[in-house]
């Protein structure tokens, strides 16, 4: 038995050579941590506890590249050494392309088939990775080294399994190169050996850390700059006893219905101290499809978010009125847009909601917010004050004044309608 074979008796010939390369490359830079070795090679050693202190991951074929990305993120100081063969250019090809393209920090050794052929006998293992398979006579070769070069990998090189010294130096060099390095391992004497290409682009996680640090700084700066808004302590839980209260607003995309749902939800949940839910179905502003929001609020947790029988129903156009007018609770209140709903349902009140939006903001986009003013006028579940706070929270600063004006105008117009002082 050779000296090397005695050292790692559990290993096959290829692995004995590879273990020599791993140990020798590690010894070339003693300041560097030992690498983690990820491999899918079938001839993996069994118990290597007598061998060198290297940890192995025997991952699913091709997927070791993905595993190495997660490990690299978690263990930034530990070199990731991948030893793959055909799986790198078959199952692993997509991962290989993106890891090389993004310069993910790892060293990938691809063993050409003649290197593993020496120790394997079964027909499947004798297939060549430079094509994809058993019928390699009809396929063009896969060229991973050229591919990695074209993707501007940090370094691309070729070593020989018969030259452990040089191969160890190439592995050492690759592990000291930040980013994605690939080493083709051959025993073909006709191929050029050594470093084939090199770039000097930032490693992915180095870029990430720089970006993340800048993000943290900007968040901290924003927090420091933010003007402290003095607000009254909001009640976490309302002292009022409010039974399940359902609100539905139905209009079209571009009327700000979705936003109104969120504003009402925050007003009821945060400022009134009620339990709430909010859901919707939205059309886009450009297409103007039907848009609907449903808010349910009450003193008890809301188990179901849909409003099959609303207490307050706002209908912004005739289609919505046709669809939903009958759903309102007998004790409920329907509010329709005075200009866009021609047939006012029995018991409903008409308020020129869209017109008020245009008057206050120049656009119909605040119709949802105007509707909330109307809702505050017909029901005491959510106050106008709570809605104002919620508008200020939910809208960009430059839009707050106009939207609060629209909200208040909706409230006042509805009060007038209720008193019979206003008629469109």
Partner 1 sequence: MSKFEVMYGNQAIAEGAIKAGCRFYAGYPITPSTEVAEILSDRLPEEGGIFVQMEDEIASMGAIIGASLGGLKSATATSGPGFSLMQENLGYAVGSEIPCVVINVQRVGPSTGLPTKAAQGDIMQARWGTHGDHPIIALSPGSVQDCYDLIIKAFNFSEKYRTPVIFLADALVSSLEEKIELADETVEIFERREPEESPEDYKAFAYTKGGVVPLAKFGEGYRYHVTGLLHDEKGYPTEDSELVSQWWDHMYSKIEDNLDDILLYEEIELDDADIALIAYGGTAMAATRAVSLAREQGIKLGLLKLQTIWPFPEERVKKLAVDMDNIIVPELNFGQIRSEVERLAAGQSNIEGINKADGNQITPDEILTAIQKHLVAGS
| Interface contacts to partner 1, rule CB under 8 A | 33-34, 36, 44, 46-49, 53-60, 63-75, 78, 94-95, 97-98, 205, 208, 211-212, 215-216, 219, 236, 261-262, 265-266, 269-270, 274-279, 301-306, 308
Based on CB atoms, which residue is closest to partner 1, 293 or 407? Answer: 293
The neighbouring-strand residues paired with 109 are: 83, 183
Are residues 156 and 182 in contact, defined by beta-carbon separation less than 8 angstroms?
yes
Residues in the chain: 424
Based on CB atoms, which residue is closest to partner 1, 168 or 307? Answer: 307
First to last CA, the chain: 103
Six-digit token pair at 297?
A: 């609020």
Based on CB atoms, which residue is closest to partner 1, 24 or 63? Answer: 63
User: How far is 316 from 347, CA to CA, in rounded Å?
Assistant: 16
Based on CB atoms, which residue is closest to partner 1, 228 or 233? Answer: 233
User: How far is 38 from 54, CA to CA, in rounded Å?
Assistant: 11
Distance of closest approach, residue 102 Cβ to partner 1, in angstroms: 9
Distance of closest approach, residue 21 Cβ to partner 1, in angstroms: 19
Distance of closest approach, residue 13 Cβ to partner 1, in angstroms: 19
Distance of closest approach, residue 259 Cβ to partner 1, in angstroms: 12
Inter-CA distances, 78 with 9, 71, 190, Å: 27, 9, 34
Distance of closest approach, residue 99 Cβ to partner 1, in angstroms: 9
User: How far is 165 from 238, CA to CA, in rounded Å?
Assistant: 76
Based on CB atoms, which residue is closest to partner 1, 5 or 212? Answer: 212
Based on CB atoms, which residue is closest to partner 1, 200 or 218? Answer: 218
User: How far is 2 from 4, CA to CA, in rounded Å?
Assistant: 5
Based on CB atoms, which residue is closest to partner 1, 191 or 219? Answer: 219
Distance of closest approach, residue 273 Cβ to partner 1, in angstroms: 8
Distance of closest approach, residue 31 Cβ to partner 1, in angstroms: 16
Based on CB atoms, which residue is closest to partner 1, 48 or 318? Answer: 48
Distance of closest approach, residue 391 Cβ to partner 1, in angstroms: 14
Cα of 202 vs its chain's centroid, Å:
23
Which residues make Cβ contacts (< 8 Å) with residue 63, sequence separation at least 6? Answer: 40, 91, 92, 95
Distance of closest approach, residue 34 Cβ to partner 1, in angstroms: 8
Based on CB atoms, which residue is closest to partner 1, 21 or 66? Answer: 66
Residue 69: exposure state from Cβ atoms within 10 A (0-12, 13-18, ≥19): buried
Distance of closest approach, residue 66 Cβ to partner 1, in angstroms: 3
Based on CB atoms, which residue is closest to partner 1, 187 or 305? Answer: 305
């Amino acid at each position: 038995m050779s000296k090397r074979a005695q050292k790692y008796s559990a290993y096959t010939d290829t692995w004995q050579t590879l273990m020599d390369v791993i140990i020798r490359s590690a010894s070339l830079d003693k300041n560097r941590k030992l690498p983690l070795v990820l491999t899918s090679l079938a001839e993996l050693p069994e118990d290597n506890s007598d061998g060198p202190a290297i940890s192995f991951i025997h991952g699913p074929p091709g997927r070791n590249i993905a595993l190495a990305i997660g490990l690299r993120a978690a263990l930034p100081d530990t070199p990731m050494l991948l030893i793959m063969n055909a799986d790198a250019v078959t199952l692993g090809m997509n991962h290989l392309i993106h890891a090389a393209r993004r310069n993910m920090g790892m060293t990938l050794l691809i063993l050409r088939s003649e290197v593993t052929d020496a120790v394997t006998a079964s027909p499947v293992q004798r297939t060549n990775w430079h094509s994809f398979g058993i019928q390699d006579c009809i396929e063009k070769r896969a060229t991973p080294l050229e591919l990695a070069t074209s993707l501007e990998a940090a370094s691309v090189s070729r070593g020989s399994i018969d030259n452990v010294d040089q191969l160890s130096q190439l592995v050492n060099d690759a592990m000291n190169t930040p980013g994605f390095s690939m080493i083709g391992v051959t025993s073909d004497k006709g191929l050029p050996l050594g470093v084939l290409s090199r770039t000097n682009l930032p490693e992915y996680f180095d870029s990430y850390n720089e970006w993340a640090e800048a993000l943290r700084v900007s968040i901290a700066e924003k927090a420091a700059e933010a003007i402290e808004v003095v607000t009254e302590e909001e009640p976490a839980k309302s002292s009022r006893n409010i039974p399940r209260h359902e609100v539905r607003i139905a209009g079209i995309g571009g009327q700000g219905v979705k936003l109104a749902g969120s504003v009402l939800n925050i007003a009821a949940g945060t400022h009134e101290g009620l339990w709430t839910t909010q859901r919707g179905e939205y059309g886009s502003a450009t297409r103007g499809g039907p848009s609907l929001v449903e808010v349910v609020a009450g003193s008890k947790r809301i188990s179901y978010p849909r409003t099959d029988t609303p207490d307050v129903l706002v209908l912004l156009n005739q289609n919505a009125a046709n669809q939903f007018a009958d759903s309102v609770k007998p004790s409920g209140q329907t509010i329709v847009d005075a200009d866009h709903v021609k047939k006012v349902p029995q018991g409903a009140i008409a308020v020129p909601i869209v017109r008020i939006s245009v008057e206050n903001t120049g656009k119909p986009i605040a119709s949802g917010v105007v509707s909330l003013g109307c809702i505050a006028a017909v029901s005491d579940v959510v106050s106008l004050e709570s809605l104002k706070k919620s508008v200020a929270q939910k809208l960009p600063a430059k839009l707050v004044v106009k939207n609060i004006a629209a909200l208040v105008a909706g409230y006042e117009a509805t009060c007038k309608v209720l008193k019979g002082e206003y008629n469109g």
